[in-house]
Amino acid sequence: MKVLITGGSGQLGRDVASIFEAAEHQVFSYSRNELDITDQQQCDHVIGATAPDVVIHCAAYTAVDAAETDVDGAFQVNASGTRNVAVASEKCGAKLVYISTDYVFDGTSQLPYQEYDTPNPQTVYGKSKRAGEVLTQTLSSRYFVVRTSWVYGKHGNNFVKTMLQLIQNKPLLQVVHDQKGSPTYTIDLAKFLLSLTMTEKYGIYHASNQGACTWYEFTEAILQEAVDIMGIKPLARLEPCTSAQFPRPALRPANSVLDHLSIRSNGFKDLRPWREGLEDFLNSY
């Protein structure tokens, strides 16, 4: 299978490339410098010349807070850029995987969000990613919309890497305890994408590591596993706090937990529990 990856130099894109290459697929991974998704002509040329069987669209504007004041920039990448990728993919008959986010929901539900619950994004980032979903569904006849949450991996900056630094250098570490979600290891997400793209079970999927925790509980686990696995000697004392104590430009969803209804109903193997993913990440870090 010939696979084209947008955002190939990013945190998820790099692990998607390695997983698909390990499965002996032909991978064409393009960074932003090599494929600017906001350039429609370039999208048509690069995707058309590659003629992939599958396009995995990882490129995105992910600066959640910056998007609140850079509305045009967020929509240019997440909406218009996705349109360009969808149109070019459709022209060459490729399956399209659009990576989306828990931010398409408002986070007020008491239950995990299922795939066909009504989106209600509250931030510019969430609205722009929802626009990308709609354009993917409108313009592609063979699409997978894959929503995920709290992603971390070996490449790029993420919460786990930040906490590993802070627990060794700060005497007191306050972490919010009123936002819950499912941490997702990029390797596990990439393996799911591999199994998904081998099928024609198109539609919307929620894909995150199983289970849920708050950011504070996630940090507790990072600290404990860092001590057990990496031998780190932490300086920090952890203390739970509220979101109100750390106001941010963009509202964070109180509930980011995603139910995997589509994974179950379509017969896919679910992602493993989040704690197992964290252990593997730290063992390879």
For the stretch 20-58, pLDDT in tens is 999 999 999 999 999 999 999 999 999 999 999 999 999
Question: Edge-to-edge, what's the strand order for the sheet holding 95-101?
Answer: 26-30, 2-6, 54-57, 95-101, 143-148, 203-206
> Among positive and negative, which fits the CA dihedral 61, 45, 141, 260?
negative
Domains contained in the chain, CATH given: 2-158+183-211+256-272 (3.40.50.720)
Q: Note the pLDDT of residue 74.
A: 98
Give the H/E segment covering residue 144. strand 143-148
Per-residue pLDDT at 164 exceeds 90:
yes
**If you average pLDDT over residues 174-191, what whole number do you get?**
98
Please write the tens of the pLDDT for every residue from 232-277: 988 889 999 999 998 999 999 999 999 999 999 999 999 999 999 9
Q: Which residue has the tokens 């509930």?
A: 255
Residues 88-95 have a mean pLDDT of 98
CA atoms of 19 and 285, how far apart (whole Å): 17
Provide the pLDDT for residue 285: 86
Adjacent-strand bridge partners of 239? 174
Angle between helices 82-91 and 40-50 (to 10 degrees): 40
Residue-level pLDDT at 189: 98
Mean pLDDT, the chain, whole residue set: 97
* Pairing verdict, β 213-214 and 180-181: antiparallel
Which pLDDT score is estimated for 234?
87
123, amino acid identity: T
- Tell me the Ramachandran region of residue 94: left when phi exceeds 0, alpha when psi lies from -120 to 50, beta otherwise: beta
Spatial separation of the C-alpha atoms in residues 278 and 183, rounded to whole Å: 8
Predicted local confidence at residue 147, as pLDDT: 98
Catalytic residue among 61, 98, 103, 125: 125
Q: What is the pLDDT of residues 187-243, one digit of tens each?
A: 999 999 999 999 999 999 999 999 999 999 999 999 999 999 999 988 889 999 999
What are the phi and psi torsion angles at 171 (to 5°)? -70, -30
Tokens of 42: 């370039």
Residue 246: the pLDDT is 85
**Range with the poorest average pLDDT among 27-41, 89-103, 112-126, 233-247:** 233-247
Q: Is 205 a catalytic residue?
A: no
